Amino acid sequence: MDVASGKNHLGYRWLLGVTFAGWMLLSLLTAPGVYLHAMLGDQSVGVESAFGQALLSSLAWAVVGFLLLLFSQSQPGRPWPGKIWLLKQLVFGVLLVLVILLLARWGQWPVLGVAGDVGLGSVGQMLLAAVPRGFAMYLGVWGICQAGLLWRDYSRAKRELVSAELRRLRTQLNPHFLFNTLNAIAELGYQNPEAADRTITQLSGLLRKSLDDSHQQEIALRDELDFLKRYLAIQQTLLQDRLQVELEISDDTLNARVPGMILQPLVENAVTHGIGRGAVGYITVRSKHRGELLVIEVEDNGWGLVIADPRRSGEGIGLNNTRARLRYLYGELAGLELHSRPGEGLTACLHIPFHEAFAYDENPHPDR
């Protein structure tokens, strides 16, 4: 199935879902009136029977709603139409009302709002009495449908804006990381050309992996760790014996979904500010499943925030982008906290909603 047919399929599902929900809501609102009317007329009607009559009497307007949604979204000029669009809607409404009234008269269908007028005299008398009420009902359904379509368009535009911003944040990390790594490789080239050549090869594989996952906003933690290990291998080559890394990953978190390249900026921050001149840096990456959250910690033994660079105001591009991506993807359900121990180190604590990824899962946050 191609993209266009997939979108149409999802569109029809949305139309059917909204129509069914509106039908049930209208029936629930109508059922008490049917029940009270039967009670006042000394008729014995149960609650189930009253609801069934409400379903039948409101079915016509549910069909009208579905056809109206289908017709409205196929017309150009929405949501702020011109006279031609409004004229089409008017003609469409008149035709629908006439068809419903004729079907209700010939099939003795108790249509909500016009049931009392359907059996009047001749067809002309019936139309004269029922068309105004039927068209008033149509206008009510029309207004609700247009509001629903506007809300769907607004939600879709908002999602597309968020996806565009996430793509911007994601691609902003790539040149930032690439610049820092190439700069370090250039310095290594004077001292150890073979190591520099090997590191360039590692970097090529890392960038290929980054591009392969660039279309996904979320990937499995095991894939994110694979990317992180490639990055750390480059850093260990550049820093030689000055970087030691330990991974403490819980097995029940390996399938958890995380934003792609979410850990690399945290580890890069630990490498940049956690290793002093001539010292050995220790970086520990932990993951835990805590209730409904996935908690990931990146701990270093550096100077902490204050001693590391007291002149800095604010955070770097990596941490700022990480916070922005979390906010767009999860809102208040996720966060990034920095716990500084001046002179002893820094721990970056990331928590996001826990949900697992399997081979047959679709990405819940794709770039749309």
Give the tokens for residue 72.
């409205």
Tally the domains of the chain.
2
Same domain, 56 and 204: no
Residues 310 and 215 in one domain: yes
Q: Which residues contact 26 (CB under 8 A, 6 or more apart)?
A: 54, 58, 61, 62, 112
Is the pTM here over 0.75, yes or no? no
Stretch among 8-22, 73-87, 185-199, 309-323 having the lowest mean pLDDT:
309-323
By three-state DSSP, how is residue 288 classified? strand
Q: How far is CA 125 from CA 97, 110, 117, 120, in A?
A: 15, 18, 9, 6
Residue 208 within any structural domain of the chain: yes
Residues 10 and 81 reside in one and the same domain:
yes
Per-residue pLDDT averaged across 51-59, rounded? 87
Q: Does 364 reside within a domain?
A: no
CATH of the domain at 200: 3.30.565.10
Q: Is 273 in the same domain as 347?
A: yes
Asked if the structure places residue 184 within a domain, the reply is no
Q: Are residues 153 and 200 located together in one domain of the fold?
A: no
Structure confidence by residue, pLDDT tens digits, 65-114: 898 888 887 766 555 567 787 888 888 888 988 888 888 888 778 888 88
Q: What is the pLDDT of residues 104-149, one digit of tens each?
A: 888 778 888 888 777 777 888 888 888 888 888 888 898 888 888 8
pLDDT at 80: 55
Q: What is the C-alpha to C-alpha distance for residues 40 and 18, in angstroms, rounded to an integer?
A: 34
Among 25-34, 78-87, 267-276, 340-349, name the one with the lowest average pLDDT: 78-87
Residue 214 has pLDDT above 60, yes or no: no
| Residue 187 belongs to some domain of the structure | no
User: Are residue 205 and residue 344 in the same domain, yes or no?
Assistant: yes
Residues 134 and 225 in one domain: no
Domain extent, residue 74, equals 3-157
